[in-house]
Amino acid sequence: MLDMRGFDISLRCETTWTDMGDDSQIHEISGNPHSKSLDDMEEPFIYIEDDKGGHCPYGYSFSDYSGGGCNEFFRDYGRKCNKVLRRKYRESVQQSIRNFQGRIDQLKDRGLLDSTLVIFTSDHGELLGEYGGLVSHGRPPCPELVYVPTVFIHPSIKPKMEKSIIRHVDIYPTICGMMKGSRSPRNTDGMNIFEKQPKVGMSFREGGYFKSRGFLNHFNYIGHSIWDERGGYVFHKHGKYRMMAFLLYKIIKKHPEFIYMINNNKRDPIGKRLVKYKLALHHMTNPEIKYGNPVITKEQAKKIISLYLETKDKKDERLRISVRDTKRKL
């Protein structure tokens, strides 16, 4: 989308990559687009803003805590009541909503709101002490992380609230489908949700503890999941007891991912603390976990994931061969 010709394009990261500006990783991944304010955009334009939103440290800018802030933040707030953590999270989300409303006001002031498609969404949710005290937005896949609100604003869209599946890969073809003289692209995994809605969405989480591809990679987290509007299934690899032993080791060593759980659970008697640790380990290691009451069966879920991974592996292999052949010709 950021390669579309004839558009003024901007990727704005005022509240996220605050110390890097246009040299951030997200700019590099996106092809290094400029970072212009919405008021400076010339029509027609594509304006994307990466807002801090509900990212830790909640209620603060990244500069308020050293080193990105999350480890120190969770260490500090692990010593407080969980209600305090949730209150700080709401403060972050409310600030993001105020920022978004400010962009709507800018479009109104320029007389562009009725001719602009506006989308407000998130890449993930956040765990705030659920499942025994977990705080994270990476793992394990669970309803709190995979279900996020998405808002489309345009005069041609009838205002309504709907509970259905929208995947991130559907956003681009949906935008293309709504543009005059444009059709939904065929070479994407997504679809125009105003023409057809997907029945399921998938979320895969792999790695996170070691960058090694050798022996240590056998202890990295791998969780494949599939979801519909009523729930989903998570399938963990590497074996329950191997991962449980490893995660217990990480808890004992006070790994940053578990620092909130360690500090917050100190407030409880030993019996309740052990129950919480058991619950956390269950959601991080159990081979198969069902959330809610999904429409699809477990067997259907396994089949869909297996087919997707098989197709992905074939595409990746074709890409590797293409890259290799291109290098030889050069």
pLDDT at 267: 83
Task: Evaluate whether 259 touches 280 at the Cβ level (below 8 Å).
Answer: no
Task: Evaluate whether 290 touches 298 at the Cβ level (below 8 Å).
Answer: yes
Peptide linkage before 140 cis (omega within 30 of 0): yes
pLDDT at 218: 67
Supply the DSSP symbol for 31: T
State which residues of the chain have pLDDT below 50.
67
pLDDT at 211: 60
pLDDT at 266: 87
Helix spans in the chain (H): 25-29, 70-77, 82-109, 143-146, 171-178, 240-252, 259-265, 270-285, 298-329
Over the stretch 114-149, which tens digit does the pLDDT of each residue have?
A: 999 999 999 999 999 999 999 988 889 999 999 999
pLDDT at 307: 94
The helix-helix angle for 270-285 and 240-252 (nearest 10°) equals: 130
pLDDT at 39: 93
How many whole angstroms separate alpha carbon 28 and alpha carbon 51?
17
Residues pairing with 224 in the sheet: 204, 235
b/e per residue, 169-203, with b = 16+ CB within 10 A? ebbbbbbbbbeeeeebeeeeebbbbeeeebebbbb
Please spell the DSSP secondary structure of 189-245, one letter per residue.
S---TTT---S-EEEEEE--S---SSGGGGGS-EEEEEEETTEEEEEE-S-HHHHHH
How many whole angstroms separate alpha carbon 236 and alpha carbon 223?
5
Sign of CA dihedral 165, 169, 171, 175: negative
